[in-house]
Structure 1
Amino acid sequence: MKTALDAILNHLIRVLRVPIRLFQQDRLIQYWGHPPHSDKLIDNRELINQLLLDSSKDFPYLKYLSAQKVIAVISGKNIKYLIGPVTINDSSEKTPVFAQTDDSTYSTEFLFEELNLLQNAIHGSDLQNSDIFINNHLSENKIRNNDAQIARYSSDNQENEFVHNPYDQEVRELRSVTEGNLSALKESIHESYEGSFATLGPTKLRSLKNLAIVDLALLARAAIKGGIDYEQSFTINDQYIRSVEQANNVQDVIALSLQAKIQYTELVHNINYPVEKTKTNLIIKRCKKYIQTHLHNKIHLEKLAKYCNVSEQYLSKIFHNTQQTTVNEYIQREKIEASKRDLIYTDLPINTIALNFAYASTSHYGSVFKRIIGMTPLKYRNTFGKV
């Protein structure tokens, strides 16, 4: 009679397409699944003994034969289950429910989920994927080795009289972002101080990219603290990191880092200073009013900006930031929207309508109309015009 454990073992060999070897002490007592014609793992007694010795009842034990080949050992009360080798490839998000070929690859996450099915069934535990990772990768030996490397690095820094850039300068810079204080940010950026950035990569460019990525992560969180929506902040952060990775020289990386600091600070400022927002809204409202009352004229940005008492550059910037379109595109859309009424409710010739809305020619009006509406003015009139 099949048990629940039998069902899980059958599931694993179907999904992972590798045999499961059952050992009692150091003796192979059963193959679960069809044994291969030649089992190189069984022939390697030294590896088998190491796997059986190093495994633990508390969690699935992993032995990496290479970067993409791993053997798992799950220990029961008297039996140890050797699974694999399984091919993993975390560059792909492929996590099949049932593998179709013998050379199938799996994400680490998927493999851990499958191993935990057996581990938790045997021991009645509730291990998570993170438990497998922590127990297999955060060993005491690795921690001790890392401590030794830190000690050597610290000694080298002292010998070379290396000093990191001051922490308080970093704090002032991040506080400027959180407060949306662009003036304070610029002062902090231009500060002179003793200290240097650490070398975090094999080349100057790679090192600077690593530093920029760390800096971007801190900026994103400082902006969230200042009131930016976390999704918006992380999306901006992701794009800057991609741009940093694509940069081919040191100057571009530095420029991207500075640009991110300024952008985050401006975003926080715009959220937290309603007076500025009110001023901007009034300018946009005045701008739109002028456009609506001059749809039958040629509208120049220079005259529009003068009417709003701002520069052309400033008007273009705040209009685009608040309306997600350019001033000229907004004008064209409003003209086309108004001209649709003439097409539907009047018998005016199309060339007259084009002239009434200050288009240089009927063809220009037609091309703008088709780009915005998706059909020509004539077709629109024939489709929606009065009967």
Structure 2
Amino acid sequence: MNIFIATQMIKVLHAPICIYSAEGDIIQCLEENNGKKLIEKEDFSIEISKTIPCIYVKENGVAFCLMWVQEEGYFLGLGKIRIYDFGDEEASQYPYCQKDEFATIVSILWNVISGKEVGVGELWAKNIFVDISDVREQITKNVFERQESGQSHNPYAQELRELDSIRRGDIAALKKSINETYSGNIGILASDPVRQYKNLAICVITNATRCAIEGGLNPEMAFSMSDSFIRNIEDNMTEPVKIEKATRDAEFEFANAVHDLKGQGNDNPLVMQVRDYVFCHIHDAIRVREIAEFIGVTPNYLSEQFSQAMGMTLKQYIINEKISSSENLLKYTDYSLQEISTFCAFSSQSRFSVYFQRKNGITPAKYRKKYKKTRNE
């Protein structure tokens, strides 16, 4: 057992790592404990495998791991920690290590100890058990009842048409698919009516998100939109009719976003890589050579290909995207002009104002005043 590596992992785990006897007695703590709670002898009452790391997680998210060191004849214990950034009062007393980071540490140490590889997904699959026998029984019951009554779910073909319209950014087709009439029924996703509509909203928005990405929308933008739409429904809505409306609005937002990308190189892999890079680095001082290096082409080649596909220089595209980002910040936040200029990585506020006025015909200050006046009317 490489004690040095285990000791170094403490800095990442933020929790104790100790050596235990087969009976659960502490043999050695690899670092001074400083009052943190350790795995106790009574924790060894659970069934512990010696062929794979044993991870135990309480209902409140407090976790620990025990792994058998065959050559030395002892257990290496990691934790206790909490693997979620929420929990009850008891959980808050434990140091935090994000769930998959914790599993990654376990995976690395297990490889050091045993020479064997075990992935993060496999670790959780081997240690977390969920009884789905009741679900299988419910599936059988649902299928029987629908077959007996002659009822069916909403047609899959209609759903495909709806999603395809988002993928293509076709607003008219989306309206048409939503207005279709059919004999099937939406599935029952919860016994509580409000929860039913919220669960359905999550399903619809999730599918719409993936289709928008397939249509060319930047993944990070799509996921951020999805997060916001779902959180708004989850946190602020309790009326099914409003939940349904918000769900449809989200679909149209995605379709519009894809529609606005038409003619912007959606069929050009190089352009799409550039767009994704610029989106993710919009708060940086983006340079053409950095994008070219990231993609793996020369700056001259990148600039030439981009200009041919988009009808504008790459530098102008970067400026336009920064101005578009600043427009949203002016509309929806209270950040000062200087702060927005800094966020968008302009060399100065005056340079930001020049570029902004060149694109919009008015200064950032007048743009904000005009938009907020429109919103308040």
- Relative to the length of structure 2, the TM-score reads 0.58
The aligned residue for residue 310 of structure 2 is none
Q: Rate the CA distance shift 1:75–1:152 in 2: closer, same or farther, 3 A.
A: farther
| Structure 1 residues 264 and 85: alpha-carbon distance in aligned structure 2, compared to 1, 3 A threshold | closer
Q: Which shifted more, 245-254 or 75-84? A: 75-84
Q: Give the CA RMSD over aligned residues.
A: 4.0
* CA 1:83–1:166: 2 relative to 1, 3 Å: same
Q: Which residue of 1 aligns with 2:124?
A: 133
Bigger-Rg structure (1/2): 1
For 1:1-387, list aligned pairs within 5 A.
5-11=2-8, 15-17=14-16, 19-23=18-22, 27=23, 31-33=27-29, 41-42=40-41, 44=42, 48=44, 50-52=46-48, 55-57=49-51, 59-77=52-70, 79-81=73-75, 83=77, 86-91=80-85, 103-137=94-128, 142=131, 146-158=135-147, 162-245=151-234, 246-272=236-262, 324=327
State the SS of the aligned residue for 1:271. coil
| 1:212–1:40 CA distance, 2 compared to 1 (3 A) | closer
Residue 240 of structure 1, CA deviation: 1.4
SS at match of 1:72: strand
SS in 2 for 1:109: helix
Q: Distance in 2 between matches of 1:166 and 1:199?
A: 15
SS at match of 2:261: helix
- Residue-pair matches, total: 264
| 1:134/1:40 CA distance change after superposition, 3 Å | closer
Q: Aligned partners of 1:369 and 1:172: how far apart in 2?
A: 43
Distance 1:259 1:167, change over 3 A: same
Q: CA deviation at 1:324?
A: 4.9
Q: Deviations over 1:56-107 (max 9, x none)?
A: 42x31122344323342212325341626613141259xxxxxxx9742332
1:170 CA displacement? 0.6
Cα distance in 2 for residues equivalent to 1:237 and 1:243:
10
The one-letter code sitting in structure 1 at the alignment partner of 2:207 is: L
Residue by residue over 1:108-162, the C-alpha shift from the partner in whole angstroms, topping out at 9 and shown as x without a partner, is 223223323321111123433333122223x5x7455543443344345445654
Contact kept? 2:67, 2:76, Cα under 8 Å: yes
- Contact 1:70/1:87 (8 A) holds in 2: yes
Residues 193, 5 of structure 1: CA spacing in aligned structure 2 closer, same or farther, 3 A cutoff?
same
CA pair 63-226 structure 1, distance change in 2 beyond 3 A = closer
* Preserved CA contact (<8 Å) 1:208 1:250: yes
Letter in 2 for 1:272: K
**Paired AA for residue 108 in structure 2:** L
Please give the alpha-carbon distance, in whole angstroms, between the structure 2 residues aligned to 1:257 and 1:31. Answer: 57
Cα offset, 1:211, TM superposition: 0.9
Tell me by how many angstroms 1:175 deviates: 1.8
Q: 1:215 Cα shift?
A: 0.7
Q: Is the 8 A contact 1:76 1:122 kept in 2?
A: yes
CA distance in 2, matches of 1:262, 1:203: 27
Measure, in 2, the Cα distance between the counterparts of 1:84 and 1:173: 49
CA contact (8 A) 1:20 1:84 kept: no
Give 1:70's aligned amino acid.
A
The structure-2 alpha-carbon separation of the partners of 1:103 and 1:191, relative to structure 1 and needing over 3 Å to count, comes to closer
Contact 2:84 2:96 in 1 (8 A): no
Residue equivalent to 2:292: none
Q: Alignment identity in percent?
A: 21
Question: Which residue identity is paired with 2:115?
Answer: G
Please give the secondary structure, in 1, of the residue aligned with 2:21. Answer: strand
1:20 aligned counterpart, secondary structure: strand
Q: Does the 8 Å CA contact 1:223/1:265 hold for their aligned counterparts?
A: yes
1:126–1:185 Cα change, 3 Å: same
Does the Cα contact within 8 Å between 1:87 and 1:104 map onto a contact in 2? yes
Q: Mark the runs of 5 or more structure 1 residues left unpaired by the alignment.
A: 94-100, 275-320, 326-367, 374-387
Q: Secondary structure at the match of 2:77?
A: strand
d(CA) in 1 for partners of 2:98, 2:193: 33
Answer yes or no: is the 8 Å Cα contact 1:9–1:32 preserved in 2.
Answer: no
Residues 170 and 17 of structure 1: CA distance in aligned 2, closer, same or farther (over 3 Å) = same
Q: TM-score, normalised by structure 1?
A: 0.57
